[in-house]
Amino acid sequence: MSQDNILELRGVTKDFPGVRAVNNVNFELQRGEVHALIGENGAGKSTLMNILGGVLRPDAGEILLEGRPVRFANPAEANRSGIAVVFQELSLVPSLSIAENIYFNRQPRTVLGFVDWKLLDRQARELLRLVNLDIHPRHLVRELPVGRQQLIEILKALSLEPKILILDEPTSSLSADHTALLFAEIRRLKASGVSFIYISHHLLEIFQLADRVTILRDGNGIGTYAVNAVNEETLVKRMVGRELTNMYGTRASEIGQILFRFAKPAPSGLEPIRLELRKGEILGIAGLIGSGRTELAMEIAGLTPNAKATIELEGGLLAIRHPAEAIRHGIAYMTEDRKQLGLYLSMSVRENNAAPSLQRFANGLGLIRDREITQSAVESRKRFNIATPSVRKTVVQLSGGNQQKVLLSMWVGVRPKVLIADEPTRGVDVGAKSEIYRHLRELASSGVGIILISSELQEILGMSDRILVMREGRFVAEFSQKQATEENIILAATGVSGRRHPVSEASS
């Protein structure tokens, strides 16, 4: 083992029933290095990180930490050895405070053995300042949006003062400002000798942060490269094993007449909040985290119904008080939080596929036609390219990208007239993104109106026919596809002075 290496994996292999998740992988991490690990969903990245984090044990191979062979029985052993992992799926306890989550089972104690709340709050505040979060440490985690929960998860790992910090899609829910603060902290810690394994589907982040990049494909190591010796096109081709062209696709049919309208009163003295969507249109909604995009989607979908709102579909007024009513009228909401709100993780692909549309599988007596549910799930597995040996496999066993495909298949299965897709490619690799974009294009071509909410500006720009920008719960700008640029969307989203773009500007 080289003296420069703090960590080395030699021939690490891990099998699960019916699949080899990691196959004879070699990997080296140097002291004070940011080493990126990339690959499609299902390539073996998460399995490898679970092995390093003590969640799983390898079936073959060895791990050397500072030159000594190690094998962790549990995450606590990995933490004590100086390895901390921030997993893509959050592990916070919603009913506990920010401070209690950051120092979970490690709260400072008084001489009498009680929790030292003053010291706990002070330590938590110091960490919160790193990412510019002005929130009281006693604030409950369940009251925070997903993006801020992600920051708390990262601060929890930083509180361990690790030698090696593994970050799995750490920016998937972060705003541009918080991403910049995180990158600054990574660079500061790197300069002090901390090593990072950085997993991300955002290749631009790899070029901004990493020194080297290792590619996994189908559980195998494809190669390790100096970041300054490769480009994005090379990485994508080696990662997916094929060339991806025209990622976002193109419009295949004309946009139709107005399909859907939503309006609600704004705070006193402000213009009402209005939204119109046409048949076959992909309407992008951009904005910073906390701008009100998801809250708007939840109102439309009946998750948080607003009695003062007016909803009109195909010329008829609707009163939506519950998600089931929205589904019955053909309005589907694909949530950004697939783990907590979107999927039944302990249930099978087959059961998830049918969950929102059970009435479609009932006979005249109300009995479920079991065979048709299985047939539908098998067809969805093929149509959405869901990587699973059986539709009876539980969703929790699938990779993040395949879980996202299951979520999309669920809502396409209700045969919606309007689909709200909230961060539809969060934590998804470029290959799976391309597939999801293709499905959204197909839906739009069939006449479905799509409201696309995304924090990825390239996604909004590449997919949308028209873009609305939200700030502080209101629409503050509207752009046609030709007018929209990253710069004018950011200016509108942040409220930074610049040329004004009134909501009515692009309505012609």
Q: Poorest-confidence range of 39-43, 77-81, 85-89, 493-497?
A: 493-497
Amino acid at residue number 57: R
pLDDT at 288: 80
pLDDT in tens, 262-287: 999 877 667 789 999 999 999 999 98
258-494, CATH topology level? Rossmann fold (3.40.50)
Tell me: the pLDDT tens digits for 194-217? Answer: 999 999 888 889 999 999 999 998
Stretch 46-67: mean pLDDT: 94
pLDDT at residue 100, as a whole number:
94
- Give domain limits for the chain: 5-240, 258-494
CA distance 341 to 403: 13
The span from the CA of 264 to the CA of 279, in Å, is 22
Q: What is the mean pLDDT of residues 365-378?
A: 87
Q: Report pLDDT for 357.
A: 85
Name the strand (E) or helix (H) holding 5: strand 5-16
H helix or E strand, kind and range, residue 45: helix 45-52
Whether 258-494 and 5-240 are alike in CATH topology: the answer is yes
- Mean pLDDT of all residues belonging to the chain: 89
State the pLDDT at residue 269.
65
Q: How confident is the model at residue 508 (pLDDT cuts 50, 70, 90)?
A: very low
**415-467 pLDDT, tens per residue?**
999 999 999 998 787 878 888 999 999 999 999 999 999 988 889 999 999 99
CB-count burial class (<10 Å; 0-12, 13-18, 19+) for 360: middle
The reported pLDDT for the residue numbered 305 is 87
Q: Quick check: 378 and 370 in contact, CB under 8 A? A: no
Domain 5-240 CATH superfamily:
P-loop containing nucleotide triphosphate hydrolases (3.40.50.300)
Percent above pLDDT 90 for the chain:
58
Comparing CA positions, the residue from 226, 332, 123 lying closest to residue 115 is 123
- Residues contacting 371, CB < 8 A, separation 6+: none
Q: What is the pLDDT of residues 227-273, one digit of tens each?
A: 999 998 888 888 877 666 678 888 888 999 999 999 998 776 677 89
The reported pLDDT for the residue numbered 28 is 96
Euclidean distance between CA atoms 396 and 226, whole angstroms: 34
Contact 439, 274 (CB under 8 A): no
